[in-house]
Structure 1
Amino acid sequence: MTADQRLLLVHAHPDDESIGQGATMAKYVREGRGVTLVTCTAGEMGEILVPELEHLAADRDDLLGEHRQGELQDAMALLGVRDHRFLGGFGHYRDSGMKWHDDGHAVAADEVHDNAFWRADLTDAADLLVEVIREVRPQVLVTYDQFGGYGHPDHIQAHRVAMYAAQLAAVPSYRLDLGEPWDIAKIYWGAMSESRMREGLRALRAAGDTTTFEGMDPEGPMPFFVVPDEQLSAVVDGTDVVDRKMAALAAHRTQISVDGPFFALSNNIGAPAWGLEFFRIAKGVPGPTGDEGLETDLFAGL
């Protein structure tokens, strides 16, 4: 990694990165900044949207993780990201799975694999990431909020591991066998703007689409992953590379349908639907802001 400015992203499963920060990643790669992705599991417990690949499911051939590894490689090639890794190596941690709570958010499944990421020892997992942090030496880290966006146990664990590893990596006397200490200057949690989500839903409903994000009322309560605009700190405008993000989403074909909500929203309200990616700052000093009072670059002020 030779770029002067370097971004590290920590995500739970293949496809999470393209959904949350695909445009940011593509934009920064194009600008010559360093982008490193760490994925914590291979998503072995995910649902499969492609009928002819249903045999890969965990309760059948249990080969979905290997297949999603290939999907991730394809997605990263489309975004231009050359440095992408699995935490501890491929297969070190397994997707924990999930179920839906009556309140509409994800919770841990009734049965969790012995090697599930949800069961990982926090310090052991953090140490694996400390080594990456001290190697890459990023100025900016992006991960989930404390709820993992919608409660998925692996998203929550990825948040915990990323935040703890960032602290440990900066301690001058901690585990010097893992590399020279490095303090990450700014940490962000990915977010979705409430006003943009409502705007998108209104456009969908006005176009006669009542099935995309079914049950969500543009004037009603928003899901857990939607964040009030006053809590947002930064927005990265990747509308000029949003085609790469949409291509990366399509590469995750077992998980994301081209007829699904991501593409429906983009088709109805255009590139800003997924080209503008929002963030909450969790550590560091915000830099100069744009017209909307938000940083327009995660490296602002550094």
Structure 2
Amino acid sequence: MHAHPDDETIATGALIAEVVARGIRVSLLTATRGEQGEVVRGPLSVLEGTDELTRERERELAGAATALGIDGRFWLGTPPARAAGLEPRAYRDSGMTWIRPGLAGPADDIDGDALVRAPLGDVTADVAALIGQLRPALVISYDNAGGYGHPDHVRMHEAAVAGSRLAGVAFAEVVQVGVDGAPSGAGAAGAADAAGAAGAAEWFDLSAHLATVTAALRCHASQLTVDGDHIVHSGGQREPIITVVGLRLL
């Protein structure tokens, strides 16, 4: 379960490719269309802040999901990822600001339809509705820091954990190695918590799927570019393509 298009590939693309290669079905729930995302300079930059960016990000997600072998894609708020008896709704990207390099916080101006404005109980009910429909063996989403603190990532962690418990399905959070060798997103939790997270996780070296992940990343052309084995984000930040992933059962 992810917050925006491209998160599925950046954070878990190699993991998805590995699971698919083992013959296991993977379904993807995406909460928002990433409407507040910056756009890479170039032909697509004119889309920033427009409705067409929403449609472009939907197209990009479809391409990436196909590249990764994802079986089914669902939008939060749209049946079957919508609580019974409620009209469909679209959760919007909440945006973010950088508190410091590698750690995000809430945006200064948050849309009324943003994911973080919705009551957690409502988001959880929509998540639980999809889990109840699909009955997966395992639900996977972010850790409690949302990877790097994005408010939408944190909200999806909260809803995924709560929704999984409501549905009686196991939940695992993704733990990743940061550039300093510590689990990513651990800065706010402190060194002791970081060490605990690393020790509790089961780690997978999935570098054999680098080509597949790279192909999926290239589908997200409005948000990032690929330079060798690195991602260059729309804001210019660089990070290695993630192929080592940890999973921790909660």
Asked if the contact 1:191/1:232 (under 8 Å) is kept, the reply is: no
Asked if 1:224 corresponds to 2:173, the answer is: no
1:247/1:119 Cα in 2 relative to 1: closer, same or farther (>3 Å)?
A: same
1:225/1:248 Cα in 2 relative to 1: closer, same or farther (>3 Å)?
A: farther
TM-score by length of 2: 0.82
Asked if 1:280 corresponds to 2:248, the answer is: yes
Paired with 1:73 and 1:222, the residues of 2 have a C-alpha distance of: 29
Paired with 1:31 and 1:102, the residues of 2 have a C-alpha distance of: 39
User: Shift in Å at residue 223 of structure 1?
Assistant: 6.3
Paired with 1:278 and 1:72, the residues of 2 have a C-alpha distance of: 23
Equivalent runs, 1:75-94 vs 2, <5 Å = 75-89=64-78, 92-94=90-92
Equivalent runs, 1:87-126 vs 2, <5 Å = 87-89=76-78, 92-102=90-100, 105-126=103-124
The AA in structure 1 aligned to 2:247 is: F
User: Shift in Å at residue 255 of structure 1?
Assistant: 1.1
User: Shift in Å at residue 260 of structure 1?
Assistant: 7.9
User: Shift in Å at residue 101 of structure 1?
Assistant: 1.7
The superposition leaves residues 155-202 of structure 1 with CA deviations (integer Å, 9 ceiling, x where unpaired) of 111111111111222xxxxxxxxxxxxx213x22111125xx347xxx
Give aligned-pair identity as a percent. 34
1:260/1:15 Cα in 2 relative to 1: closer, same or farther (>3 Å)?
A: farther
Alignment gaps of 5+ in structure 1: 1-9, 170-182, 200-220, 265-271, 283-302
Secondary structure of the 1:41 match is coil
- The equivalent position to 1:161 in structure 2, one of 159, 162, 180, is 159
Asked if the contact 1:100/1:107 (under 8 Å) is kept, the reply is: yes
Asked if the contact 1:24/1:237 (under 8 Å) is kept, the reply is: no
Paired with 2:183 and 2:208, the residues of 1 have a C-alpha distance of: 28
TM-score by length of 1: 0.68
- The equivalent position to 2:43 in structure 1, one of 37, 52, 58, is 52
1:247/1:44 Cα in 2 relative to 1: closer, same or farther (>3 Å)?
A: same
Paired with 2:138 and 2:28, the residues of 1 have a C-alpha distance of: 12
Cα RMSD, aligned residues only: 2.5
User: Shift in Å at residue 253 of structure 1?
Assistant: 1.1
1:222/1:156 Cα in 2 relative to 1: closer, same or farther (>3 Å)?
A: closer
- Could you say which structure has the larger radius of gyration? 1
Asked if 1:16 corresponds to 2:7, the answer is: yes
1:47/1:78 Cα in 2 relative to 1: closer, same or farther (>3 Å)?
A: same
Match of 2:169 in 1: 184
Secondary structure of the 2:15 match is helix
Match of 1:65 in 2: 54
The superposition leaves residues 205-248 of structure 1 with CA deviations (integer Å, 9 ceiling, x where unpaired) of xxxxxxxxxxxxxxxx9863575474341123322222111111
Asked if 1:254 corresponds to 2:222, the answer is: yes
Asked if the contact 1:140/1:184 (under 8 Å) is kept, the reply is: yes
1:258/1:108 Cα in 2 relative to 1: closer, same or farther (>3 Å)?
A: same
Asked if 1:241 corresponds to 2:241, the answer is: no
Match of 1:130 in 2: 128
Paired with 1:69 and 1:133, the residues of 2 have a C-alpha distance of: 22
Asked if the contact 1:79/1:245 (under 8 Å) is kept, the reply is: yes
1:120/1:261 Cα in 2 relative to 1: closer, same or farther (>3 Å)?
A: farther
User: Shift in Å at residue 35 of structure 1?
Assistant: 0.6
Paired with 1:248 and 1:261, the residues of 2 have a C-alpha distance of: 13
Secondary structure of the 1:88 match is coil
Match of 2:20 in 1: 29
1:148/1:25 Cα in 2 relative to 1: closer, same or farther (>3 Å)?
A: same
Asked if the contact 2:128/2:164 (under 8 Å) is kept, the reply is: yes
